[in-house]
Amino acid sequence: MGNTIVEFKNVTKQYGQGEAIQLANNDVNFTIDEGEFVVILGQSGAGKSTVLNMLGGMDTPTSGTITVAGQEVSKMNDKELSEYRAGTIGFIFQFYNLLPSLTAIENVSLVKNIVKSGPDPMEMLSAVGLSDHAKKFPSQMSGGEQQRVSIARALAKDPKIILGDEPTGALDSETGVIVLELLSDLSRKKGKTVILVTHNADIAKCADKVIRMKNGKIREIRINESPVPIREVEW
Amino acid sequence: MLVRKMTREIRKNLGQFLSLFILSFLAVSLFACMKASNISAYNKLEDLREATNCADGWIFSEGFSPEDLSSVKALPDITSAQRRLHFAATAEGFDQAQLEVYGLEEDLVSKPYYVNGKELDLSSKDGIWISESFAKEWDLKVGDAFSFSAYGRIVTKKIEGTIVSPEYQYLKADKDLDIVAKNIAVIYMPVSGLSESFSSILGGIPFNELIFTTNRSDVKSLESSLNEALHGNYAVLCDRDDMPGIRIMKDELAQHDQFAITFPVVFLAIALLVIMTTMNRMIANQRTQIGTLRALGMKKRKIILHYLSYSFIVSLLGSIVGLFVGTYLFGEGIAVIFRSWYLIPGWTVEMDASFLLVVILIVSCCTLATYLSCRKVMNVHPAESLRPASPKSGKAIVLEKLPFWNKFGFSTQYNLRDITRSKLRSFMGVFGTAAGMMIMVAAMASITTIQDASSWTFDKIQNFKNEIDFSDDITLDLAEEYKKEYGGELIQTSAIEIAKEPHADSSKKKTTSLMVTEGADYYRLTDKNRDLAELAPGTCAITMKLARSLDIHEGDTIYWHLYEKNTWYESKVGLINRHPNFSGVTMLRDDYEKTGAAYLPNILYTSSEEAAFEDQPGILAVHDDKDLKESFDIMMEMIYAMLFVFVAFATVLPIVVLYNCGNLSFHERVKEFATLKVLGFTTKKIRKLLSLQNLWLSIVGLFLGAPFGKIMLQYMFDSNGDSMDYPVSAGFLTYLVSGLFVMIVSVLVSYMFNKRIKKLDMVETLKGIE
């Protein structure tokens, strides 16, 4: 494994005020190395999505520092966060969030409006095996296909880190496997750092590192010495 | 509980519901404002006519005998009739005010309406009853002495009462260009009071008017029986529409009636678009809520009623506020202005059943629009509506077939597709800006049109410095003498009736004016294109609108007779001409004199600069070109006053509509914007994306609305009747200024979303909570 790319140091996130305070993250500390395939595991309400959102520059911590690729994300202003999201992060959502009025290729090309360099959108679409579907609109594709377009969109920015919030949550197991394979290949073959959030313990078996969360705190950080190949996982 | 849900949701969507409130308010208040003073005018006019037994018909001749009166009275359809003497007189003092004097032997028809003093006493030889409007201006009281001159005699009488004549809602002195109450009065007096002074001069009392009331609604249909009863011994039969004192007011009210329908319709149309788009979105967003309510066992009818109550309550509130503000504030404002021009006792503002109908119409249109929007969701099975709706299907649009489609940037492609997907919303944006642009162009063009008419009049038609108006006692010799002294061109204007055939009956002839010129280039004619034109000797000119209404073309022969004479003449039309304020026939003095009709000029146009014209015998008034230009200035002032209202509407409309468009578009695409934000799009980029669409819709609306501005203004000018011919002039600058104004409003509206995009919570939005 390489250098540390992500560092959470004493990160706390609270919502609400006074008596209604909710601690979504409570003194969270961890590091992630470059090129790692990491799974953040926990039940609903464990605070794993909050971690991902802060890491993705969509939310800011109440206290503590988040450092990504040498930049202190927790101190960034609105404009810097936009640049950070554009340049460093590729985000994959549970419900894909493709723009319904754009075709597959247009959804991927979309990011060229903010990131001029990086790979060719059509190549990325081919990389996820959808070159035949380039002209299709999201409503004309299956969930798995839509998620692959969303991965291609994330890749077209050539991000350092790919974040996935329950990326297989809305997919059947067969399609889920295809999507997960794509993501693990990004880490293993292309050297991207891939961080997934899920409540599915089976997926964790395939990861290099598993961060287990409960009630806003980290319960366990485990390094998987021998990750199981995706194809062998069943859920 | 549902009431609480409603009030909270109205508060949450305050922008849209406020728009709905404003639009229904505007629609109803505009209607009420134009209508409230009109209804009162009609009612009070009816009261006045009933109280005074106002005449339905007027017959003019050089004198009616008692036998004539009996024969007319004997006709089956005549309910009452009387003779009277009518002549023009001049007040002694009081700026030589113009007087319309009526000598009465009976007081049965068109009786005066009394304001002060006692009622008309036919035996009183010294009493006169005079216009209240005039008495008020000069502070004349009952009991004051009042002298006037007519036929070279001066008589002095005592004011016994102040009155309003049912025949003069519009009372303007001949010498004035606008209504000036202190320059004209109507006087009623017993004919016995006139006998001593005038019988010897006039050879008895010539009862030159016979007035009557009838059961028939079409007075002119009595023409043949009247003709028989009077043995053809009369010049002309008139109904109320022929009497300028009545007709001009009637035209004005009719114009208001028209505006009362046209303008509110525009606002109603926009209100409906706002409601439909707002409710469509709200109901689509609350799909799962509706599903939940139905799963809980709530009846479909109850849910529909709940959603109907949103637009019902808001539009009802807007309408009711509009009803009262429109009637008692705006309407009263209109009434105040018009009361100073037209004479109707007790004129104020009133409502009638039509107000309730308009409120019901607007509220039910709004509610119906909501019903149509929510019907769709109600037909979905509860289990299905509990699941989120399937994503809107994206599909290729026609524009994608264009060879350069791929050259478009992301924003362009994205917005073009979004527009085709949200047709109703886009239509609302276009329609609203088009309406704003239309109003703005009309407002700006009204300035250029008046300027254009002014330069048309003063640079082309009127080629003189002073207009000398002769009084009724002018002689041809004296007029010629003035012409010799000052130089210039003599003009005679007379009332005539014209037709395409001689001795035409009332339905085929039109009352209009004749202008006899000397062709000396002081008063010039302009053709259809408003270029200077010569009138060939032996032919006459007829104004374009009049020619059109009678289907007369160049080369046709027209037949005409002087209003008070029964001899018909024929003339060949050599020119169709145009004039902003004159409608009628123009001919050369030589040709007029050849007909054998008496020639007596009443105007001298001269270039002489000498100012000492007035106070000379036979001269009533002198207007220099500044005076004449002033009437355009007064019109200009009115336009400027109206401009304020117009610009206000032109601002409110695009703001309301574009804000709604932006709002809806924002809410519909909020998830997409959040996604873009996650991808790294900046606030500025997203705002541009959002405003680009509004900008396009505004530009399309701009071009669609622009031509209608001209059409609307022409319609407004034309609604003043055939006597005005103001071709609307709108130059490049008009469109440029209007367009810029609307675009600035559009751009400012897009900035209203800046904060919202900046504050957009990506995490919350993408969670997919309603």
pLDDT at position B1: 63
Minimal-distance CA residue of chain A relative to B669: A99
- Window 58-87 of A: residues touching B by CB (8 A cutoff) are 58-59, 78-79, 82-87
**What value does the CA radius of gyration of chain A take, rounded to a whole number of Å?**
17
| A23 contacts chain B (CB < 8 A) | no
pLDDT at position A233: 77
CB B552 within 8 A of CB B500: yes
| pLDDT single digits (tens) A122-164 | 988 998 889 899 989 888 898 889 989 998 998 888 899 999 9
- In whole angstroms, what is the distance from residue A107 CA to residue A146 CA? 10
| pLDDT single digits (tens) B643-662 | 677 777 777 777 888 888 88
- β-sheet bridge partners, residue A32: A6
Give the best residue of A68, A93, A99 to mutate against chain B (max B CB count within 10 A): A99
| pLDDT single digits (tens) B11-44 | 877 877 888 888 888 888 888 888 898 899 999 9
pLDDT at position A139: 86
Distance from CA of A192 to the nearest CA of B (A): 17
Whole-number Cα distances in Å, A171 to A168, A204, B512, B689:
5, 17, 85, 32
- In whole angstroms, what is the distance from residue B649 CA to residue B657 CA? 12
CB atoms within 10 A of CB B335: 21
Measured between beta carbons, the chain A residues lying within 8 angstroms of B671 are 97
Predicted ipTM?
0.85
Distance from CA of A224 to the nearest CA of B (A): 30
| pLDDT single digits (tens) B146-202 | 999 888 788 999 999 999 999 999 998 877 767 888 999 999 999 988 877 777 777
Average pLDDT, chain B: 86
| pLDDT single digits (tens) B100-138 | 999 999 999 999 999 999 999 988 889 999 999 999 999
pLDDT at position A112: 83
Domain residue extents for chain B: 1-56+245-390, 62-234, 422-448+625-770, 466-608
Q: Say whether pLDDT at A194 is over 90.
A: yes
Q: DSSP assignment, residue B342? A: B
Q: How confident is the model at residue B611 (pLDDT cuts 50, 70, 90)?
A: low
Q: Which residue has the higher pLDDT, B4 or B568?
A: B568
Minimal-distance CA residue of chain A relative to B758: A78
pLDDT at position B599: 92
- In whole angstroms, what is the distance from residue B621 CA to residue B624 CA? 10
Provide the percentage of residues in chain B whose pLDDT is more than 70: 95
| pLDDT single digits (tens) B391-428 | 566 666 777 777 887 788 778 888 888 888 788 888 88
Task: Please count the residue pairs, one from chain A and one from chain B, whose beta carbons lie less than 8 angstroms apart.
Answer: 95
Q: A204 — phi, psi (to 5°)?
A: -60, -25
Q: Which residue has the higher pLDDT, B213 or B633?
A: B213
The size of chain B, in residues, is: 770
- In whole angstroms, what is the distance from residue B43 CA to residue B38 CA? 8
Q: How confident is the model at residue B769 (pLDDT cuts 50, 70, 90)?
A: very low
Q: Which residue has the higher pLDDT, B143 or A110?
A: B143
Domain residue extents for chain A: 35-64+76-232
Q: Is the pTM of this model over 0.80?
A: no
Q: Give the tokens for residue B725.
A: 């011919």
- In whole angstroms, what is the distance from residue B493 CA to residue B213 CA? 31
Interface of chain B toward chain A, CB-CB under 8 angstroms: 390-396, 409-411, 413-414, 417-418, 421, 671-672, 674-683, 685, 758, 762-763, 766, 768
Secondary structure (3-state) at B661: helix
- In whole angstroms, what is the distance from residue B260 CA to residue A123 CA? 64
Minimal-distance CA residue of chain A relative to B395: A137
Q: What is the mean pLDDT of residues B730-748?
A: 90
- In whole angstroms, what is the distance from residue B713 CA to residue B728 CA? 7
pLDDT at position B470: 87
List the Cα angle B47/B52/B57 in 5-degree steps. 105
B221: burial class by Cβ within 10 Å (0-12, 13-18, 19+)?
A: middle
Residue (of B490, B458, B466, B497) closest to B581 by Cα position: B458
Q: What is the mean pLDDT of residues B339-367?
A: 89
| pLDDT single digits (tens) B485-530 | 889 999 999 989 899 988 777 778 888 899 999 999 999 999 999 9
| A101 contacts chain B (CB < 8 A) | yes
- Window 33-62 of A: residues touching B by CB (8 A cutoff) are 49, 53, 56, 58-59
Measure CB to CB from residue A59 to each of B411, B679, B763 and give the nearest one. B763
Given strand A209-214, what is the order of strands in its sheet? A89-92, A161-165, A193-198, A37-41, A209-214, A217-223
Give the best residue of A101, A153, A161, A163 to mutate against chain B (max B CB count within 10 A): A101
User: Is the Cβ pair B395, A78 closer than 8 Å?
Assistant: no
- In whole angstroms, what is the distance from residue B223 CA to residue B395 CA? 72
- In whole angstroms, what is the distance from residue A134 CA to residue A128 CA? 11
Long-range contacts of B718-721 (CB under 8 A, 24+ apart): B719/B254, B719/B255, B719/B258, B719/B259, B720/B251, B720/B255, B721/B251
- In whole angstroms, what is the distance from residue B47 CA to residue B31 CA? 24
pLDDT at position B328: 93
Measured between beta carbons, the chain A residues lying within 8 angstroms of B674 are 97
Measured between beta carbons, the chain A residues lying within 8 angstroms of B389 are none
pLDDT at position B388: 59
**What value does the CA radius of gyration of chain B take, rounded to a whole number of Å?**
33
Give the best residue of B418, B668, B679 to mutate against chain A (max A CB count within 10 A): B679
CATH class of the domain comprising B466-608: mainly beta
pLDDT at position B132: 95
Measure CB to CB from residue B680 to each of A85, A93, A109 and give the nearest one. A85
Q: Print the SS3 string covering B18-75.
A: HHHHHHHHHHHHHHHHHHHHHHHHHHHHHHHHHHHCCCCEEEECCCCCHHHHHHHHHC
Contacts of B458 (CB under 8 A, 6+ apart): B625, B628, B629
Q: What is the mean pLDDT of residues B424-443?
A: 87
User: Is the Cβ pair A82, B414 closer than 8 Å?
Assistant: no
Distance from CA of B3 to the nearest CA of A (A): 28
Distance from CA of A154 to the nearest CA of B (A): 8
Pairing of strands B98-104, B184-190: parallel
Residue (of A191, A199, A220) closest to A5 by Cα position: A191
Distance from CA of A79 to the nearest CA of B (A): 7
Q: Say whether pLDDT at A9 is over 90.
A: yes
Residue (of A212, A186, A218, A176) closest to A197 by Cα position: A212
Measure CB to CB from residue B766 to each of A93, A113, A140 and give the nearest one. A93
| C-alpha atoms less than 13 angstroms from C-alpha of B250 in its C-beta half-sphere | 13
Measured between beta carbons, the chain B residues lying within 8 angstroms of A93 are 675, 766
- In whole angstroms, what is the distance from residue A134 CA to residue A112 CA? 16
Measured between beta carbons, the chain A residues lying within 8 angstroms of B410 are 102, 106, 109-110, 112-113
User: Is the Cβ pair A110, B418 closer than 8 Å?
Assistant: no
CB A154 within 8 A of CB A93: no
Minimal-distance CA residue of chain B relative to A88: B680
Minimal-distance CA residue of chain B relative to A110: B410
CB B160 within 8 A of CB B124: yes
- Separation of first and last alpha carbons in chain A: 28
pLDDT at position B5: 75
Distance from CA of A228 to the nearest CA of B (A): 31
- In whole angstroms, what is the distance from residue B545 CA to residue B207 CA? 36
Torsion of CA B147, B149, B152, B153, to 10 degrees: -30
Distance from CA of A24 to the nearest CA of B (A): 13
| pLDDT single digits (tens) A61-76 | 999 999 999 999 989 9
- β-sheet bridge partners, residue B210: B59, B83
Residue (of B578, B593, B604, B456) closest to B520 by Cα position: B604
Please state the separation of Cα B274 from the chain's center in Å: 29
User: Is the Cβ pair A95, B768 closer than 8 Å?
Assistant: yes
- Separation of first and last alpha carbons in chain B: 19
Q: Which residue has the higher pLDDT, B707 or A117?
A: B707
Minimal-distance CA residue of chain B relative to A56: B678
| A114 contacts chain B (CB < 8 A) | yes
Torsion of CA B665, B671, B675, B680, to 10 degrees: 50
Of all helices (H) and strands (E), which one includes residue B694?
helix B683-718
pLDDT at position B168: 94
Minimal-distance CA residue of chain A relative to B394: A101
CATH class of the domain comprising A35-64+76-232: alpha beta
Q: B474 — phi, psi (to 5°)?
A: -70, 150
| A95 contacts chain B (CB < 8 A) | yes
CB B326 within 8 A of CB B32: yes
The size of chain A, in residues, is: 235
pLDDT at position B189: 94
pLDDT at position A176: 85
